[in-house]
Structure 1
Amino acid sequence: MKKFINQVDDVLAESLTGFASAHANIVSLNLEPHFLTRRHKAENKVAIISGGGSGHEPLHGGYIGYGMLDAACPGHVFTSPSPDQMLAAAEAVHAGKGVLFIVKNYAGDVMNFEMAAEMLPFESATVLTSDDVAVENSTYTTGRRGVAGTVIVEKVVGSLAETGADLAACKALGDKVNSRTASMGVALTSCTVPAAGRPTFDIGDTELEMGVGIHGEPGRRREPMRNADAIVADMVAAILEDLKPAAGSEVLLLVNGFAATPLMELYLLYNSAAKLLQDKGLNVTRSLVGNYITALDMAGASITICLLDDEIRQHWDSPVHTAALRWQR
């Protein structure tokens, strides 16, 4: 294993320290327990908090800032953060209107966020993201996994929270976005967890894993490598079978890299997916291409489609300023 590390046990703390230093105008870091918050605490708004295992950067710390998250709780690599991290983060950013947790549907994350919510001295609610159409169940989840669609939920709900909307409204919008979003991933190589020192799974040079999870969980099937158009066609078909969009629907198309796939290839995948959607009578009016929820050093990508409406589009377009996502209206 060749990685830029000092000691395996220090990877998370050193990485978080570097991140917080590089983006000191946006985030603050607490190390005991680990959590990140906005540098300047927001006032009189629902506090939006997410978190999960590290190794998926820029998720979630990269999305702290105006228009998205107020705090994020990073666990160790591919390991859920603990309830005490979530509790401490919530107490640090609570701004008088309750806390909304945005939680990817993995058993450890769900259990620990639920435990934290039960201990909070103020009102809270949870949006559970479950956009992965690849499998219904896995060793990590009960039901569908939360993957790249989580970024869309965090952006849209974060925007609504900035308007002063109440906790119920923020949760309702998060649930709506999740219900209108679906994702499918594919891997060309495995990832290597630093503590393990070897690839999570073995895959041949002429194979791909269709429907892979962001921790290297098995997908729908192992199959021979094919050209990009054929791979994208299968991914988009699975997503559309789930969403069943009406002809003429307006969609957001996110092509997400797992960290080791060049942008040149990600844009090629986007081109293929956009043409397919156009041929099926769907209008791609919003797009995002890049590494937004990764899997350490895995080569691969995911495609996410979100069915837009006026409300979702408005909050997707609204200003955002974070380390990993930023734009003005």
Structure 2
Amino acid sequence: MEREEQRNRRYWKNLATTLHKEGRYAEALRIYRQAILTNPDDADVSYNLGNLLRTIGQNEKAISFYEHAHRLNPKDPDILINLAPLYRSGQRHDAARQCYEKILQLDPENATAHYFVAALAGQTPPRAPTTYVVELFDQYAPTYDQHMNQVLKYRAPELLRNLLLNYAPTRGRRFLTCDLGCGTGRSMDAFERLITTVDGYDLSPVMLQRAAAKNIYRQLIAGDCIETLAAAPASYELFVAADLMPYIGALDPLLEVIREKAKSPAFLVFSTEFQEHGESPRLLTTGRYQHSLAYMQSRLRAHSMSLRAFQVEALRLQAEQPIQGGLYLVEV
């Protein structure tokens, strides 16, 4: 009888997990709730239910199930890895810091935890860890376009295209283009009429799979944008980085390789999260960097680049509030 109950529990857990992956959230939620009632001490069920609730935007309920799962299984770092971002998004910074510190006790080499401990302490490491960015966007890829367009009202690519059209000599010109941090190819939807050939560079293999399905790119290169661009044989007339800079604090290595790969005269258009004052980047508790105009001007001068146009605009929403960004047009 006990074995039969165990088989039934495994069956319902597996079914709920499958329904979640297929996007059948209401059905998965119903089964998980039944499972948690019959077996409230199953850490896996609490954890998976937390994952589902987070997926459908019920963060406070997700937190309670993650916390319950952690009490049942305090040595599982995956529970804490999923719980900490919900504390951060809810401005519960002390709880988030404690969460990341517990992760480091279990996994001292966890780069994401080190990164957010620094962010929550007001420190600014030079860039986001590769493992963090890959994990973030691999998970985000299936819903990225829909979420950016419909929920976050993301419009940086369109604003950057307009900046290029308004302030650069583009009449009748089409560019050999490098799309840095290309993701799913969302930016090239806006630039379609301004490009001839485009290559995409991104860390996330799952995002690149989505980009490949759009048949926009000549080639898609997986890996660190700075390293892969430096190794590429191609040179480019236009560089687009619509949402790359918020994951790179110190921009000198990127600007240096763009300079090396520019087919003169070339242009660079990019967006940042805008910092009004300050001579250096600032890492926010969101895990994204802000850059000021003063910082960008100093770094562009250092790499012999000319700032042709700059604007501050609302790029997207976060927690239903507009995020101000800096939009830059640079001649390389």
TM-score greater than 0.5 by the shorter chain? no
Q: Which has the higher contact order (CA 8 A, sep 6+)?
A: 1
Question: Please, what TM-score do these two structures have when normalized by structure 1?
Answer: 0.27
Question: Please, what TM-score do these two structures have when normalized by structure 2?
Answer: 0.27
Q: Which has the larger radius of gyration?
A: 2
Q: If each structure's helix is expressed as a fraction of its own residues, which one has the higher value?
A: 2
Q: If each structure's strand is expressed as a fraction of its own residues, which one has the higher value?
A: 1
